[in-house]
Structure 1
Amino acid sequence: MKKINPLIPLDYPDPDVIRVGEVYYMITTTMHFMPGGEILRSLDLLHWEHAAFVYDRIDSTPAQQLTETANIYGKGMWAATLRYHQGMFYVIFVANDTKKTYLYRSKQIAGPWKKSIIAGFYHDCSLLFDKERIFLVYGNREIWLTELDEKLTGPKKGGLHRLLVSDQDNPNLGYEGAHLYKIDGYYYAFFIHSLKERWFRTQACFVADSLTGTFSGGDVLVDDRNYCQQGVAQGGIVATPDGKWYAILFQDHGAVGRLPILVPVQFENHFPVFGAAGKIPKSFPTPTAKHSTSLQPLIGSDSFDHIYATPYGFAPQWQFNHEPNAAGYTLDNKKQRYLIKPQKITENLTQSQNTLTQRMTFPTCQAQVTLNAEGLQEGDFAGLAVLQGAYGWIGVTKDQGKYYLVMKSRELTEFSLQGLPLDEHAGKEQARIRLFSPLVTLQVRANFSQMKDVTSFFYQTDGTFKQLGIEHPVAFKMDHFCGCRLGLFCYSTQQIGGFAAFSQFQYENTGEEQEVIDGKNN
């Protein structure tokens, strides 16, 4: 029965969750990472595995492809809505770089997904099918309801369009992250916002007996789970087959990102009660565990010896930093390696194409990879990174025909939520030593416990790992607007034509094990 939150110790923000038959599906924000629109699957709301990616690319703009100095950090796909109606799955989201609203639909969760555009831009939108009518609720500070035409191409001519609620006078975050449901004849609109007197994420709900009626309500969850004054809010609600309700919301955990939190929900007099008296209990009755013993992992090691049925052939825990350049990488499963062949000149890790990433794990984790740098050209850099605005990495460069092991970091000099300018010059070199072989095993260790948010970098020598450079602090900021990622990278600063080969990637969650779930409702 007991489940230690966070539900998933990884960066899966802005969750939306549905149930189709006996299976639960969840989609979260994937921003600039490709393939994107990752959907997870569960049989019990407790154990989750990868189910599908909705798209392999969005519009292939120069920014989405990291062409020259363009990028979509902090933009891309935000806060999707996932719905199932009359045998069809629907995913709707806006991309904050293109300012478009995208609709994907498929008869199967695995796809193929058909893409179209809905006229208009609907921030953090939620989709509602209500008999023969279709609605979107969306907005920031002002929450609007707009009726769509039957083909989902845009607003319905003469259809309902109205303001539901307003939070304009909130000096912090006003209402956004909308989720709209019809339950037992009542309409429920859920939002995230902040307390007005201080920054604290808070879940709110407003209810009406019709879409033309007055929505009334207020805050339904003001709780930080005794974790660093970080509130829990924004997400979807779902009912089990036996009629019990749960919410999956997110909570900030510092640099590792925003992690899903499971919350029991009850309805009293047609109004939702989250947790116990508005607080999230440490343990509570949960659905009976039905998970398979062979769940597809959300993170993990990889020997690069297999081509998967994913958009780019990699194990589903991998995503590219932006849309990849097909000429610039090879998944060589026969030689069990991942090759990056830079196709542009840059001096900054964040503009490096074909960086292959995985989410980092709360509270602590470590990863290592073997790098063969023999193919580097003068001025090339390749290695293992902690990817964020204030990034850090350990890697190899070739300088005047010699190999050097380097640790670089982009100093955390900006302490506001806004973060660092993304067009700033490359990070600062913290350490450099001579390498007498281009083959080296690199390691990263991270501690996110209680928002300590520090990373350190190692290389293997004489069978042990030795630290290189500094202990580097990282932080969640709006410049990237996502949690830290591990990244395999290679970029050229002088000329293209070189390459780096990565093999034997090993990932370890070094934190405390989550409490075993017995699935009993007692």
Structure 2
Amino acid sequence: MSLLPGLAAQAAESTAPNPIIWADVPDVSVIRVGDSYYMTSTTMHMNPGVPVMKSKDLVNWEIVNYLYDILAAGDKQTLSNGQNLYGQGSWASSIRHHNGKFYVAFASNDVGKTFIFQTTDIEKGPWEKYELAGGVYHDMSLLFDDDGRVYMVYGNGTIRIVELTADATAIKTGGMNKVIIQNASAPGGSGGLGAEGSHVYKINGKYYIFHISWPSGGIRTQLIHRADAIDGQYEGRIALRSGSSTSGAGVAQGGIVDTPDGKWYGMLFQDFGSVGRIPYIIPMTWSEDGWPVFGDVNDTGIAANLSKSWVSSDEFDKQAAPVAAYHTVVASGENDHNGSNLGLVWQWNHNPDNRYWSLTERPGHLRLTTGRTSTSIHNARNTLTQRTFGPESTGTVKIDVSNMKDGDYAGITAFQANYGFVGVKMTGSTKSIVMVNGNSSSATEVAAVPLNQDTVYLRTELDFKNRTDKGYFYYSLDGARWASIGNTLQMSYTLPHFMGYRFGLFNFATKSAGGYVDFDYFRIGEQLEGSNFNTNLKTLQVNGAPLAGFSEGRYEYAVDVPADSAPPRVSATANDPSATVSITQASTIPGAATVAVSSEGLQTTIYTIRFDSPSFIAIEAETAAENTEHAYVSGIIQGHTWSLVDGQMTKAMLFGPDTGFAMTGTDAATLATGAKLGYRINVPVSGNYNLWILAKSVDFNSDSVHVGLNNQYRFTVNGIQGVSNSQFRWVNLSNGGTTVPGGSALALTAGTHELNFWGREDGLIIDRIYLTTSGSTTDPVWPPAEPQAPTTVLTADNSVKPGSTFQVGVGLQHVPQEVYAQDVTLSYSSDVFEYVSAAGATDNVRVVGEDKETAGQVRLITASIGGASVEQALLNVTFRVKAGVSNTSGAIAVTHAELGTAPEGTTVLAIGSSKTIAVGSPDVVIDKTALTEAIASAQALADGAVIGTQPGQYPQAAVDALTEAIAAATAVKENAGATQPQVNEAVDALHTAVETFKAAVVKQASADLNNDGKVNVGDLAMVAYHYGKDANSADWAAAKAADMNFDGKIDIEDLVYVASRLGR
């Protein structure tokens, strides 16, 4: 293992710039222990898993350990039986140090569990592993509180807390387990990604929880919530919403850490295209009221020189120390230690099989032996990886390929879901250097060069500057002269892998196991070098004209030629005038021509040009807006559907509105709820058809679509924006390479099929659709429009009411000359509709004949005085919905239309048309008469009521209650959707309120307090006895009988009232 001098450190600067690691190190969690900082991050499907990095200055980091060598050994982890765990594995760990022990918690999505690993020596182990009940705790964060209690905060959008046992080995029975922040995303804005990525701290007696959110229309945003108690109530605000000088993507997600001298820093990361998610150290201060304040994201503010100790060249001549990770025993022995130790910069794609790699079988070399067969690099085991890095990085290998077997591939890859590699392929007993592009479903051999020796040098170069995201591939036979091979890989960060690109060293078998290769070295560089030896073509012509789409690094072409054409002639010139160019012409159609270029007997490049006469089907996308049996729109999902908008050529179909919505599911149930385009197509010849669309995407959040055939899902394509660039462009959905991955050719049999598109990301516009058996990568040539046949057109409302009379318009389109007479037969659903009458749509059209003898049919003979033009309304035909018909639909169609022209007297048949009309439910009459009268009566009572305490007056509360009851009844009256039972209930409720109101009237008080049948001084004495008491008196229950005026007190007015009635 060696570190290239060029990677040791950047030139000294006053302070280190961000990013501190221009490579994929996401979901960072950092702590300080003494003067050392430790960080864990996410590597998902790579093993060993959960890297532990160490730093002394927060800027320069090296990998010092991992948590585990492997976590499990099922089919997913071993890439067996079609299974994998790409984008799963360990996610978003949380590292903490408490009472001399290190704790790292993380969730594993493939096994559906959450683990806590513990050790007293984070660099040397050993580790203890504990599994928490309850499955996956998403993006959790550990907190050891001052009172000895231990918590884990987690969640997405809704943030929860769960209490652990004091030793942090299990969920505490009966411990805290609750929601602590209901809508944690709110401070950052609505929609988009819910707040997640929790990092919880207790600082100066307050609890702080950091989150990331990604609101609709915004960027990744760092949020902070604060509370005085662990379970809230929390208040939140935006802590940071900023891109960097190199990218507008938001720097967010992570936590904070302090230094021994009391400074604070945030450790966050930024999405940076295909290189992955890259860490930033950001200076942080505290506001006067105790909130974190982040500084400039572009500068760390730390005086240090950046190094790249997290990647390394390797001569494979020195053994590293064994990794001190938790070891999982596998019965097969495939995870047993094999006596070889790789440096910690290396990780295997999925679980390695330690029986089939070695540093000892040939000292100074890494031997990779095939242990089984695979169909692609995606399901091959023992692919050894390191991070790629920006702004530029290169990886070079020297390989001995003398012991490969038939069907083997070995080399170096730029590895992600959409990958490229340069390698050696063994076919029978011959070898060739190949460049391959591939994705999760297919791989394409872009170029092949014969190899006649056992040692080869291979290189991949990656350009991440300004999110360029280009990959280039080279080979050499002597390590000095380098030639480019294949095409340029347009790298793309895809969610299925959820990881930045990796350099990968691989050897896999497609036919039989047992072959092996020896890697002499792997060397990294940080500057693109390109080629210095060129055996490529300078020009390539077909029949003397430059070949469309020619690029010297592209070696495969498909050219469409008219049927029955002679094979075209190919000519070419090389970049190197001294090179030899040999051309083998095509002899048939279909057929192929080859051009071979060689120089100095060392290298040969071969170009292949295939000729064919393809079949095609061309569709105007906007025809779906007409909703006919040939093309239609169906479905609305969360307010989104396909609608008619302006296109480039004519009209087009938009999946909108553009709000950031996405329908990702592809199961039948999900698709059934989606918005779909359907096109009935007539396939002329059976074959594999490539699907192209003339499309425009708004951005990378509007550039995918689901494709189906005969209403069955086939594939999903993404990355349309990479071609569209927000303009209308032809996009090959079947073979879009790494730019537009996911698609494939459609195997169609001759005959009728239905082509389907389900909206996935809103904002995508489709103008035209083109299916072709051609393998050409040049844009389709749209066929010239054919003359359209005369057609009848029916117009009518889509739905009518039961018993109603309605009109159907009959018109003509695309009539090539003046028409003076028409013989039109209309058929209709006689069980639903009945014919009433017909009249000319204009004054010059006269109905001169009518035949309605046949049930469900009417024949109309018309004459057009002065002639009917090419586009004209012809008839207004009146129909009626038959009595008793409702909740159904019926059809009306033109089944025959013969047009008479003049002066020749010839006849023309017009294509018929049809219209389906729905009959709705009978109108339900809601009788609100009683409610209206009740409201008027109650309102009159309320308006005439006098508020007071005198007899005949009403308490204020009684008037208020009646007013509220009137308002409730009025709301029902004004509700157009109110049902008759609701109206009746409102009437009853108001009547009850009126009776209650009437009963509340203040009545004249009786002065006969002693109930002896007369008013005398005895009654007056009782008032005098209670004089001065009020509603607050302890014996008010007894005294209130003396309150003659009901004003809540006994006073002179009550004495006068009784005195005035003495003797009565």
Instruction: Tell me the TM-score normalised to structure 2 length.
Output: 0.45
Distance 1:475 1:199, change over 3 A: farther
Paired residue type of 2:472 = S
Q: Could you give the per-residue CA deviations for residues 30-52 of structure 1, whole angstroms, max 9, x where no partner exists? A: 11111111111111111111221
Deviation, structure 1 residue 273:
3.5
- Structure 1 distance, partners of 2:411, 2:396, is 10
- Structure 2 distance, partners of 1:76, 1:224, is 29
In structure 2, what is the equivalent of residue 237 of structure 1?
256
Q: Could you give the per-residue CA deviations for residues 128-187 of structure 1, whole angstroms, max 9, x where no partner exists? A: 000310000001111111111224343322221221222478421111000000000000
- 1:183 aligned onto 2:203: yes
Q: Could you give the per-residue CA deviations for residues 482-502 of structure 1, whole angstroms, max 9, x where no partner exists? A: 000000001111111111111
In structure 1, what is the equivalent of residue 93 of structure 2?
80
Paired residue type of 1:174 = G
Residues 265 and 272, structure 1, Cα contact 8 Å, conserved in 2 = no
For residues 209-288 of structure 1, what are the structure 2 equivalents within 5 Å?
Answer: 209-276=228-295, 280-283=296-299, 285-286=301-302
Residues 325 and 354, structure 1, Cα contact 8 Å, conserved in 2 = yes
Residues 304 and 332, structure 1, Cα contact 8 Å, conserved in 2 = no
Paired residue type of 2:154 = Y
Secondary structure of the residue aligned to 1:444 is: strand
Q: Choose between structure 1 and 2: higher strand proportion.
A: 1
In structure 1, what is the equivalent of residue 144 of structure 2?
129
Deviation, structure 1 residue 213:
2.7
- Structure 1 distance, partners of 2:445, 2:432, is 12
Paired residue type of 1:116 = Y
Deviation, structure 1 residue 281:
4.7
Q: 1:349 aligns with which of 374, 377, 385?
A: 377
Q: Which moved more, 1:92-101 or 1:63-72?
A: 63-72
In structure 2, what is the equivalent of residue 516 of structure 1?
none
In structure 2, what is the equivalent of residue 419 of structure 1?
none
- Structure 2 distance, partners of 1:285, 1:303, is 36
For residues 432-447 of structure 1, what are the structure 2 equivalents within 5 Å?
Answer: 432-447=448-463
Q: 2:464 aligns with which of 437, 448, 468?
A: 448
Secondary structure of the residue aligned to 2:506 is: strand
For residues 452-491 of structure 1, what are the structure 2 equivalents within 5 Å?
Answer: 452-461=468-477, 463-491=480-508
In structure 2, what is the equivalent of residue 2 of structure 1?
15
Deviation, structure 1 residue 272:
3.2
- Structure 2 distance, partners of 1:502, 1:250, is 34
Deviation, structure 1 residue 67:
2.1
Q: Tell me, which stretches of 5 or more residues in structure 1 are unaligned?
A: 412-421, 512-522
- Structure 2 distance, partners of 1:81, 1:40, is 13
- Structure 2 distance, partners of 1:189, 1:229, is 25
- Structure 2 distance, partners of 1:394, 1:242, is 50
- 1:326 aligned onto 2:341: no
Structure ranking higher on relative contact order (CA contacts 8 Å, 6+ apart): 1
Q: Rg: which structure is higher?
A: 2
Q: Which moved more, 1:380-389 or 1:159-168?
A: 159-168
Q: Tell me, which stretches of 5 or more residues in structure 2 are unaligned?
A: 1-13, 324-339, 529-1064
Q: Could you give the per-residue CA deviations for residues 208-234 of structure 1, whole angstroms, max 9, x where no partner exists? A: 011133110121100011333211111
Q: Could you give the per-residue CA deviations for residues 112-143 of structure 1, whole angstroms, max 9, x where no partner exists? A: 11111011221010000003100000011111
Instruction: Tell me the TM-score normalised to structure 1 length.
Output: 0.91
In structure 2, what is the equivalent of residue 35 of structure 1?
48
Q: 2:156 aligns with which of 124, 140, 143?
A: 140
In structure 2, what is the equivalent of residue 52 of structure 1?
65
- Structure 2 distance, partners of 1:473, 1:3, is 31
Residues 16 and 248, structure 1, Cα contact 8 Å, conserved in 2 = yes
Deviation, structure 1 residue 285:
3.4
Q: 1:69 aligns with which of 74, 78, 82?
A: 82
For these two proteins, the number of residue pairs brought into alignment is 491
Q: Could you give the per-residue CA deviations for residues 263-318 of structure 1, whole angstroms, max 9, x where no partner exists? A: 11111145434333xxx2533632x65x9x9x892111101011111336101111
Residues 305 and 333, structure 1, Cα contact 8 Å, conserved in 2 = no
- 1:115 aligned onto 2:129: yes
- Structure 2 distance, partners of 1:253, 1:49, is 21
Q: Could you give the per-residue CA deviations for residues 429-453 of structure 1, whole angstroms, max 9, x where no partner exists? A: 1001110012100001000111110
Q: Which moved more, 1:266-275 or 1:133-142?
A: 266-275
Percentage identity across paired residues of the two chains: 35
In structure 1, what is the equivalent of residue 321 of structure 2?
309
Q: 1:23 aligns with which of 36, 41, 47?
A: 36
- Structure 2 distance, partners of 1:275, 1:333, is 53
Q: CA RMSD in A?
A: 1.8
For residues 352-391 of structure 1, what are the structure 2 equivalents within 5 Å?
Answer: 352-391=380-419
Q: 2:425 aligns with which of 397, 421, 434?
A: 397
- Structure 1 distance, partners of 2:388, 2:31, is 26
- Structure 2 distance, partners of 1:154, 1:64, is 25
Residues 281 and 297, structure 2, Cα contact 8 Å, conserved in 1 = no
Secondary structure of the residue aligned to 1:298 is: coil
- Structure 2 distance, partners of 1:27, 1:275, is 22
Residues 118 and 127, structure 2, Cα contact 8 Å, conserved in 1 = yes
Deviation, structure 1 residue 199:
4.5
- Structure 1 distance, partners of 2:360, 2:22, is 31
Residues 245 and 298, structure 2, Cα contact 8 Å, conserved in 1 = no
Q: 1:203 aligns with which of 222, 226, 232?
A: 222
Deviation, structure 1 residue 2:
1.5
Distance 1:284 1:383, change over 3 A: closer
Residues 212 and 253, structure 2, Cα contact 8 Å, conserved in 1 = yes
